C-alpha cells in the first residue's frame, strides 16, 4: 500500500512538472506563430496598398491554428512525445512559409511594396520579442521545477539500486552534473536569448540519456554473475544478450560523452538525436532481457 501511494505521488508530481513545462513552452511557440500570422497580414495589406500580387497564406494560417490546438492539448496532458512531434510540425510549417515568401518576393513586387513591409514589420518584431521574453521569464520557473524533479527521480533510482549493492557511481556522476545544470538556469533564462536557453535543454537531454545508459550498464554488470551462477531456464540466451548490450551501452557512454559547454547548438542537437536513436533501441533491449529473465524463472 505504501509503495502504491508513493508511486502515485511521484507519478502525479512528475506529470504536473511535465505539463507545467510544456505549457510554458507552448506559450513561447505561440509567440512565434502569432508573429508570423501578424507579419503575413501586414504583408498582404502592403500588397493591397501597392496593388501587387501576393501568395495566399490562408492554408498556412489554418494549418498553424490546428497544430496549436493539438499542441495545447498535448501540453495540458503532459504528453512529451506528442508535444515534440507537433512542435516539429510547426517548425516545418514555418520553414515552408519562409520558402513561399522567398519565392513570392520575385513575383511582380515593387520597391514601394518592400519598403512598406520593412516599415510594417518593425513594430511586429518589437511585440514578438516582448512576447518571447515574457514567455522565457515564465518558463524559467517551470524549467527549474522540471529539472529538479528529474534529479529527484534520478536520486530515487540510485537509492533503489544501491539497496542491492549495485555500483551506481556512474549514475551518481551524471546526477551531480544535473545539479550543476540547475545553477546555470538563472543565467541562461536571464539573458532572454533562446539560443542560451536551448543550451540548457540540450545539456539536460544528454544527461538524461547518459543516466539511463549508466543505469543499464550498472544493472547488467550486477545481473551477469548472478545469472551465470543461477539456474534460470533462459540462462544462455540472457547471458549472450547481456554481454552484447554491455558492449553497446559502453560504446554509447563513450560516444555520447557529456559536455557542459555547448560550442554549437546545432552540432550538440545532432549528436543528441543520434545518441537517443541508438539509445532507445538499447533501452528496449534492456527491458526485453528483463522479460526473458522473468520468463525463465
Partner 1 sequence: MKQKLLMLLVIGIILMSFGCTKRTIGGNETLPQLNASEDVAGGPGNEKPANASAGISDQELAKFFNISTDRPIGDEGLDSESPSSE
User: In the Cβ-directed half-sphere of 237, how many Cα atoms lie within 13 Å?
Assistant: 13
**String marking each residue 140-169 x if it binds partner 1 according to CB under 8 A:** ------x---x----xx--xxx-xxxx---
Please name the residue that has the C-alpha cell 513591409.
117
Q: Measure the CA–CA gap between 243 and 235, rounded to whole angstroms.
A: 12
Please name the residue that has the C-alpha cell 545539479.
179
Q: How far is the CB of 101 from partner 1 (least distance, A)?
A: 5
Q: How far is the CB of 214 from partner 1 (least distance, A)?
A: 11
Q: How far is the CB of 136 from partner 1 (least distance, A)?
A: 9
Q: Three cell numbers at 262?
A: 555547448
Q: Using alpha carbons only, how large is the chain's radius of gyration in Å?
A: 24
- Which one among 170, 194, 221, 271 touches partner 1, defined by CB under 8 A? 194
For position 130 contacting partner 1 by CB under 8 A, the verdict is: no
Taken in order 213, 219, 222, 224, the sign of the CA dihedral is negative
For position 227 contacting partner 1 by CB under 8 A, the verdict is: yes
Q: Three cell numbers at 12?
A: 502525479
Taking the least distance from each CB to partner 1, the nearer of 101 and 174 is 101
Footprint of partner 1 on 51-110 (CB under 8 A): 76, 80-81, 83-84, 87-88, 90-91, 94-95, 97-98, 101
Q: How far is the CB of 57 from partner 1 (least distance, A)?
A: 10
Burial of 269 (0-12, 13-18, 19+ CB in 10 A): middle
Footprint of partner 1 on 9-48 (CB under 8 A): 9, 12-13, 15-16, 18-22, 25, 28-29, 32, 35-36, 39-40
For position 117 contacting partner 1 by CB under 8 A, the verdict is: yes
Q: Measure the CA–CA gap between 73 and 285, rounded to whole angstroms.
A: 32
Q: Three cell numbers at 260?
A: 557542459
For position 256 contacting partner 1 by CB under 8 A, the verdict is: no
DSSP string, 97-152: HHHHHHHHTTSS--HHHHHHHHHHHHHHHHHHHHHHHHHHHHHHHHHHHHHHHHHH
Q: How far is the CB of 291 from partner 1 (least distance, A)?
A: 7
For position 249 contacting partner 1 by CB under 8 A, the verdict is: no
Q: How far is the CB of 257 from partner 1 (least distance, A)?
A: 18
Q: Under rule CB under 8 A, how many of the chain's residues touch partner 1?
A: 92
Footprint of partner 1 on 258-277 (CB under 8 A): 265, 269, 272, 276
Cβ–Cβ under 8 Å, residues 262 and 203: yes
**Sequence-distant (≥ 6) Cβ neighbours of residue 219 within 8 angstroms:** 161, 166, 286
- Which one among 61, 145, 205, 221 touches partner 1, defined by CB under 8 A? 205
Give the interface segment with partner 1, choosing from 167-175, 179-187, 200-208, 252-260 (CB under 8 A). 200-208
Q: How far is the CB of 97 from partner 1 (least distance, A)?
A: 6
Please name the residue that has the C-alpha cell 515574457.
134
Amino acid at each position: 500500500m505504501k509503495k502504491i501511494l508513493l508511486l502515485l505521488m511521484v507519478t502525479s508530481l512528475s506529470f504536473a512538472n511535465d505539463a507545467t513545462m510544456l505549457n510554458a513552452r507552448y506559450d513561447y511557440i505561440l509567440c512565434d506563430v502569432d508573429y508570423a500570422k501578424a507579419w503575413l497580414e501586414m504583408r498582404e495589406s502592403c500588397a493591397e496598398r501597392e496593388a501587387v500580387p501576393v501568395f495566399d497564406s490562408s492554408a498556412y494560417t489554418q494549418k498553424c491554428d490546428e497544430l496549436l490546438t493539438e499542441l495545447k492539448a498535448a501540453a495540458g496532458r503532459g504528453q512529451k512525445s506528442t508535444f515534440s512531434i507537433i512542435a516539429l510540425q510547426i517548425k516545418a510549417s514555418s520553414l515552408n512559409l519562409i520558402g513561399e515568401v522567398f519565392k513570392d518576393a520575385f513575383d511582380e513586387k515593387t520597391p514601394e511594396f518592400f519598403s512598406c513591409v520593412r516599415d510594417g514589420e518593425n513594430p511586429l518584431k518589437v511585440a514578438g520579442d516582448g512576447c518571447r521574453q515574457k514567455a522565457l521569464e515564465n518558463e524559467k520557473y517551470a524549467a527549474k521545477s522540471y529539472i529538479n524533479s528529474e534529479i529527484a527521480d534520478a536520486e530515487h533510482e540510485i537509492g533503489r539500486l544501491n539497496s542491492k549493492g549495485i555500483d551506481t557511481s556512474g549514475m551518481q556522476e551524471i546526477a551531480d552534473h544535473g545539479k550543476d545544470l540547475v545553477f546555470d538556469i538563472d543565467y541562461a533564462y536571464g539573458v532572454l536569448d533562446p539560443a542560451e536557453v536551448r543550451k540548457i535543454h540540450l545539456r539536460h537531454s544528454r544527461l538524461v540519456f547518459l543516466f539511463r545508459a549508466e543505469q543499464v550498464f550498472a544493472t547488467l554488470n550486477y545481473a551477469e554473475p548472478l545469472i551465470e551462477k543461477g539456474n534460470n531456464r533462459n540462462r544462455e540466451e540472457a547471458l549472450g544478450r547481456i554481454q552484447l548490450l554491455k558492449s553497446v551501452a559502453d560504446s554509447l557512454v563513450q560516444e555520447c560523452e557529456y559536455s557542459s559547454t555547448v560550442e554549437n547548438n546545432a552540432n550538440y542537437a545532432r549528436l543528441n538525436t543520434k545518441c537517443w536513436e541508438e539509445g532507445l533501441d538499447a533501452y528496449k533491449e534492456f527491458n526485453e532481457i528483463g522479460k526473458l529473465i522473468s520468463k525463465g524463472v
